[in-house]
Chains A and B, each alone.
Chain A
Amino acid sequence: MRLINMHPGRGGRVLLAALPFVILGIAYLIGSALRLAENPGDKLLPSLDAMGRMIEVMAFTPDRRTGDYLLWTDTAASLLRLWSGLAIATVIALVLGLLNGVLPVARAMLGPFIAFLSMVPPLALLPVLFIVLGLGEVSKIALIVIGVAPILTRDLALTAIALPREQIVKAETLSASSWLVAWRVVLPQVMPRLIDSLRLQLGPAFLFLIAAEAISAEGGLGYRIFLVRRYLSMDIIFPYVLWITLLAVTMDLCLRLLRRRLYPWAEVRP
């Protein structure tokens, strides 16, 4: 049988999916054991025990100075920034993307401008944001918005433009105004794509968040990682990175479920 015709069964799929994770884990454990055998004080690849102890300290022991549980306060601070940024970016993308996608006049005016803005490297603007907006929350949220909104907007506009022209004309023959075409024909059909687009932007959003926190913050997941970096505390950094990844994966999954729940028609294949 040709390789292209071999499909794994249910059990086989789970096994195959688990394989890379298992290999990565084993590789880490071997590497860590080898380095620790050579030098028990090695900090680069800490043992699972060491990481477990630090998780205990960060997540379940109140901080001696402030009395906070650091992992949770960091998570709360970071998620608040991330979600605010993503929410604002989504609203901007919805308004500008729809305008752009539905109205030729708006497209003529905004299209080139948004295409230009989306090419500005957001991280290069970070110093400007810190100087203009201060070192508080606003500048960090603004960085996420500037990084994510133009791409969401363009993607939404492209999806709207790609809708068959026939549908728009059809809606007009059903007495739709411009507003009703946007509201009842275009908007519902671009929403699934917007959710997918948002899923793809979770990675960049975290990148901007951590970059901003690394430079100036009083708390947050990125802040903590860059703080303990000074002490080579891999036993904190690794669990934090894993935690951030888990958060992103969970958000991705939730968005996927949301899409399936809200837009069942998008899952129907002829």
Chain B
Amino acid sequence: MTALTIQGLWKEYGAQVVLENVNLTIAPRAFVALVGPSGCGKTTFLRMLLGQERATRGTIVMDGEPLPSEPGPDRGVVYQRYSVFPHMTALQNVMLGPELRAARLTGRLWGAARRKLADEAVALLAEVGLAGAEAKYPAQLSGGMQQRLALAQTLMMRPKLLLLDEPFGALDPGIRTEIHTLMRRLWHEHAMTVVMVTHDMREAFALATRIIAFDRPRNRPEERERYGATITNDIAIWPPRVAGRQTIYDADIDPVQDDLNRFAITAGTTRPTEGSLP
């Protein structure tokens, strides 16, 4: 279970202050949505959690250890674009992580190990709704399917922390709702903490356990350079969502909501999880 403690975090590019004095504690298994206007540094903050960028000042501690200064397999990421590798099929994309971890020289597995991994990957692809698309290249998949693929690819590494950078921002509303359902289910079933950057408030409220808003307290033109954004709002969702438990308002309701006969709660999880309701 992964807890994050961020203390006195600053990020500056030269004279420009992007983030100032960010203090935040994220509980294990939380699903945190970062919201805020464009250019307020929420993506920069996510990149620092990822290790893609370094903080100018301050500390990020994950499970009692300072965060490594470069990206690693303990933190998975899904971007809005470019999250999957265009030169690999869906199956190869999902198998890549474990292959790279096991074969440090060739980056490929062979024989029985490969078959076992392929079975695992096929199962995960089916879980994210990509059964039958194993042999397709990402360019042959729709935007929503590419993001499902990216999620599967990341989950193969069983990351402790999953970072999402506007992952569903480019999708159509209908597709987005479907992938929200998937995202909720994955968060319930996989033991990970999720931090998601989003522009979409509905999305934030539909998925998160807690919403963190970034903004610049001082936003006059002459102040913009020297004062960065910081956390201005910290909203806990109520009634609280708990990982592994389904709350009634998160029940995945059939899109034909007017028809009361069709009102139904779809089956919850596909696998038993720790701490699920008796």
Chain A interface (Cβ < 8 Å from any Cβ of B): 164, 166-167, 169-177, 179-180, 183-185, 188-189, 263-266, 268-270
Note all chain B residues with C-beta closer than 8 A to A170: 77, 79, 82-85
Note all chain A residues with C-beta closer than 8 A to B105: 179
Whether B140 pairs with A173 at a CB distance below 8 angstroms is no
Q: Which of B8-55 contact A (CB under 8 A)?
A: 50, 52
B-side interface mostly = loop
Which single member of A167, A185, A268 contacts B137 (CB below 8 Å)? A268
Nearest CB of chain B from residue A172's CB, rounded to whole Å: 4
Q: Which of B149-178 contact A (CB under 8 A)?
A: 153-154, 157, 159
CB pairs A–B below 8 angstroms (27 shown): A164-B82, A167-B82, A167-B85, A169-B77, A170-B79, A170-B83, A170-B84, A170-B85, A172-B72, A173-B71, A173-B73, A173-B76, A173-B154, A173-B159, A174-B101, A174-B153, A175-B97, A179-B105, A180-B100, A180-B104, A184-B107, A184-B108, A188-B87, A265-B137, A268-B137, A269-B139, A270-B139
Note all chain B residues with C-beta closer than 8 A to A265: 86-88, 137, 139
Nearest CB of chain B from residue A160's CB, rounded to whole Å: 13
With A170-B84, A265-B139 given, can you name 17 additional A-B contacts, CB distance below 8 Å? A166-B82, A166-B83, A169-B52, A172-B71, A173-B76, A173-B77, A173-B157, A174-B97, A174-B100, A175-B100, A180-B104, A180-B107, A184-B108, A185-B85, A188-B87, A263-B87, A270-B140
Note all chain A residues with C-beta closer than 8 A to B52: 169
B195 at the interface (CB under 8 A from A): no
Whether A184 pairs with B100 at a CB distance below 8 angstroms is yes
Residue from A170, A174, A180, A266 having most chain B Cβ neighbours under 10 A:
A174
Q: CA A173 – CA B76 in complex, angstroms?
A: 6
Note all chain B residues with C-beta closer than 8 A to A174: 73, 96-97, 100-101, 153, 157
Which single member of B83, B104, B140, B153 contacts A177 (CB below 8 Å)? B104
B70 at the interface (CB under 8 A from A): yes
Nearest CB of chain B from residue A31's CB, rounded to whole Å: 50
Note all chain A residues with C-beta closer than 8 A to B154: 173
B188 at the interface (CB under 8 A from A): no
> Given contacts A164-B82, A170-B79, A265-B87, are A175 and B72 in contact (CB under 8 A)?
yes
Nearest CB of chain B from residue A161's CB, rounded to whole Å: 14
Q: CA A170 – CA B100 in complex, angstroms?
A: 12
> Given contacts A263-B87, A268-B140, are A166 and B96 in contact (CB under 8 A)?
no
Q: Which of B59-111 contact A (CB under 8 A)?
A: 70-73, 75-77, 79, 81-88, 96-97, 100-101, 104-108
| CB closest chain-A residue, reference B70 | A172
Q: CA A189 – CA B84 in complex, angstroms?
A: 13
Nearest CB of chain A from residue B278's CB, rounded to whole Å: 36
| CB closest chain-B residue, reference A264 | B137
Q: Could you count the A-B residue pairs with CB atoms below 8 Å apart for me: how many are there?
A: 79
Q: CA A227 – CA B157 in complex, angstroms?
A: 67
Note all chain B residues with C-beta closer than 8 A to A173: 50, 71-73, 75-77, 154, 157, 159
Note all chain A residues with C-beta closer than 8 A to B108: 184
Q: CA A184 – CA B101 in complex, angstroms?
A: 13
| CB closest chain-B residue, reference A184 | B107
Note all chain A residues with C-beta closer than 8 A to B85: 167, 170-171, 185, 189
| CB closest chain-B residue, reference A182 | B107
Note all chain A residues with C-beta closer than 8 A to B87: 188-189, 263, 265-266
| CB closest chain-B residue, reference A166 | B82
Residue from B84, B108, B139, B154 having most chain A Cβ neighbours under 10 A:
B139
Note all chain B residues with C-beta closer than 8 A to A264: 137
Nearest CB of chain B from residue A204's CB, rounded to whole Å: 28
Q: Please provide the 4 A-B residue pairs with the shortest distance between their CB atoms, ordered closest to farther.
A: A174-B97, A172-B71, A164-B82, A166-B82
Note all chain B residues with C-beta closer than 8 A to A176: 100, 107
Residue from A265, A266, A269 having most chain B Cβ neighbours under 10 A:
A265
Q: CA A220 – CA B3 in complex, angstroms?
A: 72
| CB closest chain-A residue, reference B78 | A170
Whether B157 pairs with A175 at a CB distance below 8 angstroms is yes
Q: CA A101 – CA B278 in complex, angstroms?
A: 55
Residue from A175, A179, A183 having most chain B Cβ neighbours under 10 A:
A175
Nearest CB of chain B from residue A27's CB, rounded to whole Å: 45
Note all chain A residues with C-beta closer than 8 A to B81: 164, 166
| CB closest chain-A residue, reference B106 | A183
Note all chain B residues with C-beta closer than 8 A to A167: 82, 85
Whether B86 pairs with A189 at a CB distance below 8 angstroms is yes
Q: CA A169 – CA B150 in complex, angstroms?
A: 13
Nearest CB of chain A from residue B227's CB, rounded to whole Å: 28
Note all chain A residues with C-beta closer than 8 A to B83: 166, 170
| CB closest chain-A residue, reference B156 | A174
